[in-house]
Structure 1
Amino acid sequence: MTLKTRRLLFMAVCLVPGLAMFMLFKLYPTIQVFYKSFYLWTGIGDKPKFIGFKNFVDMFRDDAFLLSLRNTGFLMVIVPVFTLLIALVNASILTRTKLKERGLYRTLFFFPSILSFVVIAILWSFIYHPTLGFLNSGLELTGLGQYAMPWLGDSRTVLWALAVTMIWQAAGYYMVIYMAGIDGISPDLYEAASIDGATPMKQFIHITIPMLWEIIRITIIFSINGVLSISFVIVTIMTAGGPDRHSEVVMTYLYQQAFTNSNFGYAMAIGVFVFAFSVLLSLISNKLTERGSY
C-alpha cells in the first residue's frame, strides 16, 4: 500500500463517520422539511397528501402567522440595533480608557452570555412580575409607582420587555468580540488623532468604527439570525405568546402548529419560509453594509 493510499484511507476513516452523522441528522431532515412542506401531513402515521403550494398560500392568509411574523420582524430590528450599539460603546470605553476594574466589568457584562436561555427567561420573568418583581418594586420605592404595570401582560410593552431581555443576554458576548477587534487597532492611529485635536467621540466615529467595520458586518448577521433561536425559548417561558398572541413569534407558532395542532406539513412550510427569510435578510444586510454602499 503506497503512502498516498494510506493517507487517503486515514482521511476517509476520519471524515466518513462525521460526514455520515451530518447527512443522517442534518442533511436528510432538512431535505425532508422542504419535501414535506408541500404535503398535508399530521405526523402521526397517516400517509402524507400532496397539496402543492397550498401550505404557503394559507400561511399568508393566516392572521396568527402574520402577527407572529410582525412580532419577529420587530425583534429582529430592535434587538440587533441596541445590542450591537451597547456592545460597541462598552467595548470602546473598556479598551480606550484606563480602568483598573476593566477585568471586572468585562466579566460582569459577559456573564449573561454564559447563562442558559431558560435561566435568563426565568430570571427576567421574576424581574417583570407585576407584584413581586424587582422592576415594579423599584418604581414604587423611587416614587414612580404610577409607571408600574404588568410588563409581560400588556400588549403595549410585552415586546419591548422581551427585547430588553434578549439585549441583556447578548450585549456582553458581542462586546468581547469588539474588544478583541479594538485591541488589534494600532495605538498610533489614536495617538495621531489626539495630537490633531480629535475628541474621543470623533476617534470613535472616524477610527474605531471604520477599523471594525468588517467585524460589525459579521455580528449584524449573527445577531439578526440569533433572534430566531433565542426568541423561541424566551417567549415560550416568559409569555407563551400572550397576551392574545401579541408576543407570538414565528418559531413558537411553528412549534404550536406541529406539536399542538399536529399540522406538520404546515409547520414545515413555515420552517422553509423562516429559512428563506433568514437567508434573504443576511444577503440584504451583507449588501447594505458593503463599503461604498452607504
Structure 2
Amino acid sequence: MNMKIRRRLFIAACLIPGLVIFALFKVYPTIQVFEKSLFLWTGIGDEPKFIGLKNFTDLFQDDVFLLSLRNTGFLMLVVPVFTILIALINASILTRSRLKERGLYRTLFFFPSVLSFVVIAILWSFIYHPTIGFVNSGLELLGLGDWAMAWLGDQRTVLWALAITLVWQAAGYYMVMYMAGIDGISPDLYEAASIDGATPIQQFWHITIPMLWEIIRVTIVFSINGVLTISFVVVSIMTAGGPDRHSEVVMTYLYSQAFTNSNFGYAMAIGVVIFVLSLLLALISNRLTERRVN
C-alpha cells in the first residue's frame, strides 16, 4: 500500500466518525422536521395523520404566529445593528486609544458574553423590576420619576427592553472579534492617514470599517441567527411572551405548541418556516454586504 492510499485512508478514518455523528444528530432530525410538518401529530404514541400543507396554511392564518414573527423580525433587525455598531466603536477605542485601563474595560465589556443566558435574563428582570429595579430607581434619583413604568409589562417598551438585554449580552463577544481584526491592520495606514490630516472618526470610517468588512459580514449572519436562539431563553424567563403576546417570538411559540399543546406537527411547521427564513436572511445579508469589484 503506497503512501498516497494510506494518507487517504487516514483522512477518511478521521472524517467518517464526525460525518456520521453530524448526519445522525443534524441531517436526519432536520429531514424528520420537514416530514413531520406535513402531519397532524400529537407526539403521544398516536399515529401521525398526513394532512399535506394544512399546517402551513393554518400557520399564516394564525394571529399569534404572525405577531411572534413580527416581534422576531423586530429583534433580528434592531439587535444586530446596535450590537455590531457598539462592538465596532468599543473595539476601535480600546485598540487605537492609549487608555491605561484598556485591560479592565476589555474584561468588563466581554464579561456578559461568558454568563449563562438564564443568569442574564434573571439579572435584567431585576433591573427592569417596576418597584425595586435599577432603571426606575435611577429615574427617581434623577428626578424623572414620572418616566418610571413596568418596562416588561408595557406593550410599547417590552421589545425594546428585551433588545437592550440581547445587545448587552452579545456586544462584548463581537468586540473581541473586531479587536483581533484591528490588531491585524497595519499601523502604517493609520500613521499615513494622520499625516494627511484624517481625524480618528475619518480613520474609523475609511480604514477600520473597510479593512474589517469581511469580518463584519460574518458577524452580521452570526448576530441575526443568534437572536433566534438567545431570544427563546430571554423571553421565556423575562416575560413568558407577555404582555398579551407582545413579546412572543417564534421559538417560544414553537415550544408552547410542541410541549404545552402537544401539537408537534404544527410546531414542526413553525420550525420549517424558521429554517427557511434564517437561510433567506443569511443569503440576503451576504448579498447586500458583498463587495462589488468593477
Shared topology, TM-score over 0.5?
yes
Aligned to 1:97: 97
Note the alpha carbon deviations across 1:228-279, whole angstroms, 9 max, x for none.
Answer: 0000000000000000000000000000100011110110011011000000
Aligned to 2:271: 271
Report deviation, 1:137.
1.0
Provide the rounded CA distance (Å) in 1 between the counterparts of 2:116 and 2:66: 29
Query: Structure 1 pair 184/10, CA: closer, same or farther in 2 (3 Å)?
Result: closer
Provide the rounded CA distance (Å) in 1 between the counterparts of 2:285 and 2:78: 15
Report deviation, 1:13.
4.2
Report deviation, 1:138.
1.2
2:276 aligns to what SS in structure 1? helix
Aligned to 1:168: 168
Letter in 1 for 2:253: Y
1:214 aligns with 2:210: no
Provide the rounded CA distance (Å) in 1 between the counterparts of 2:151 and 2:4: 66
Aligned to 2:38: 38
Q: How does 1:1-294 map to 2 (within 5 A)?
A: 6-292=6-292
Provide the rounded CA distance (Å) in 1 between the counterparts of 2:5 and 2:178: 45
Query: Structure 1 pair 41/103, CA: closer, same or farther in 2 (3 Å)?
Result: same
Report deviation, 1:14.
3.4
Report deviation, 1:140.
1.2
Deviates more, 1:3-12 or 1:97-106: 3-12
Letter in 2 for 1:63: D
Report deviation, 1:4.
5.4
Provide the rounded CA distance (Å) in 2 between the counterparts of 1:110 and 1:221: 20
Q: Tell me the number of residue pairs that the alignment of Structure 1 and Structure 2 aligns.
A: 293
Provide the rounded CA distance (Å) in 1 between the counterparts of 2:243 and 2:215: 38
Provide the rounded CA distance (Å) in 2 between the counterparts of 1:29 and 1:117: 25
Provide the rounded CA distance (Å) in 2 between the counterparts of 1:274 and 1:20: 25
Please report the RMSD computed on the Cα atoms of aligned residues, expressed in angstroms: 1.4
Note the alpha carbon deviations across 1:275-294, whole angstroms, 9 max, x for none.
Answer: 0000000111111111139x
TM-score, structure 2 normalization = 0.96
1:72 aligns to what SS in structure 2? helix
Provide the rounded CA distance (Å) in 1 between the counterparts of 2:41 and 2:142: 56
Gaps spanning 5+ residues in structure 2: where?
none
Deviates more, 1:237-246 or 1:191-200: 191-200
Letter in 1 for 2:251: M
2:47 aligns to what SS in structure 1? coil
Provide the rounded CA distance (Å) in 1 between the counterparts of 2:193 and 2:4: 56
2:198 aligns to what SS in structure 1? coil
Report deviation, 1:129.
0.6
Gaps spanning 5+ residues in structure 1: where?
none
1:242 aligns to what SS in structure 2? coil
